[in-house]
Chain A
Amino acid sequence: EVQLLESGGGLVQPGGSLRLSCAASGFTFNSHAMSWVRQAPGKGLEWVSGISGSGGRTDYADSVKGRFTISRDNAKSTLYLQMNSLRVEDTAVYYCAKDPGGQYELLLQPFDSWGQGTLVTVSS
């Protein structure tokens, strides 16, 4: 059974930094692209960033480009999101999500499994 468990969320001041983690199990982690998707309180879903299974390809939404960095440690089956220069509008639940494939490329696929999410609150 696929399991994705996010951690690292919390309260941070504007301009601060936070690193999210997503521990994966139940599948061959390095064979699948992974993404972060966020949801502001009471709002819809926004894809934030994606990374191929090998880690060689990354992609970002314009809203976070230059501030967030996605990475993965395939030996630990863990996905990360380093968030710097945080803004109030980054406040959201952050989900990690798995692609059906994408070992070497960032294929444009649906997200077939999701974690339970971790809340990031940016406020002074």
Chain B
Amino acid sequence: DIQMTQSPSSLSASVGDRVTITCRASQYISSYLNWYQQKPGKAPNLLIYAASNLHGGVPSRFSGSGSGTDFTLTLSSLQPEDFATYYCQQSYNTPRTFGQGTKVEIK
């Protein structure tokens, strides 16, 4: 199975901050990398697919980049509704594995 490793596991930030989360795959996955946001007690929501494509309705302050094994999710200006846990997921090979999550908390 392809292992996905996110860093950091958690971070504290303020409204308006620029936040970057990284995700590393244990092997080459081209651009088959997706990002999800999950709020407490809720289902995950797709943010970005194929490394850099914004899913419908997702604000443009979210962006993704990377290819191969290293990827980043960037929030250009953190908003109150962005405090949540973020997961990366590879869809290059089965099983479609997830990272362990990055919790973004209010500073």
Q: Is A117 an interface residue (CB 8 A)?
A: yes
CB <8 Å contact, A47 and B99: no
Q: Is B61 an interface residue (CB 8 A)?
A: no
Bound-state Cα–Cα, A35 to B100, Å: 19
Encoded as 1 (CB less than 8 Å from any B CB) or 0, chain A from 96 to 124 comes to 00000000001011111111110000000
CB <8 Å contact, B87 and A108: no
Evaluate whether A95 and B34 lie within 8 angstroms (CB atoms) in the complex, with A44-B87, A44-B99, A47-B97 already known. Answer: no
Residues of the B chain whose Cβ atoms lie less than 8 Å from the Cβ of A61 = 95
Q: Is B66 an interface residue (CB 8 A)?
A: no
Bound-state Cα–Cα, A73 to B50, Å: 30
Q: Is A45 an interface residue (CB 8 A)?
A: yes
The majority secondary structure among interface residues of chain A is: loop
CB <8 Å contact, B91 and A108: yes
Q: Is A46 an interface residue (CB 8 A)?
A: yes
Bound-state Cα–Cα, A35 to B49, Å: 17
Bound-state Cα–Cα, A110 to B54, Å: 12
Q: Is B46 an interface residue (CB 8 A)?
A: yes
Evaluate whether A44 and B91 lie within 8 angstroms (CB atoms) in the complex, with A110-B34, A110-B46 already known. Answer: no
Encoded as 1 (CB less than 8 Å from any A CB) or 0, chain B from 43 to 83 comes to 11110011000010000000000000000000000000000
Evaluate whether A117 and B96 lie within 8 angstroms (CB atoms) in the complex, with A44-B101, A108-B91 already known. Answer: no
Residues of the B chain whose Cβ atoms lie less than 8 Å from the Cβ of A46 = 98
CB <8 Å contact, A47 and B43: no
Q: Is A89 an interface residue (CB 8 A)?
A: no
Residues of the B chain whose Cβ atoms lie less than 8 Å from the Cβ of A109 = 49, 91
Known: A109-B91, A111-B46, A117-B43. 16 other contacts (CB 8 A): A35-B96, A44-B98, A44-B100, A45-B89, A45-B98, A47-B95, A62-B95, A108-B32, A108-B94, A109-B49, A110-B46, A110-B50, A111-B34, A112-B46, A112-B55, A114-B43
Q: Please name 9 pairs of A and B residues whose Cβ atoms are closer than 8 Å in the assembled complex, sorted by A.
A: A45-B36, A45-B101, A46-B98, A47-B96, A59-B95, A108-B94, A110-B49, A110-B91, A116-B43
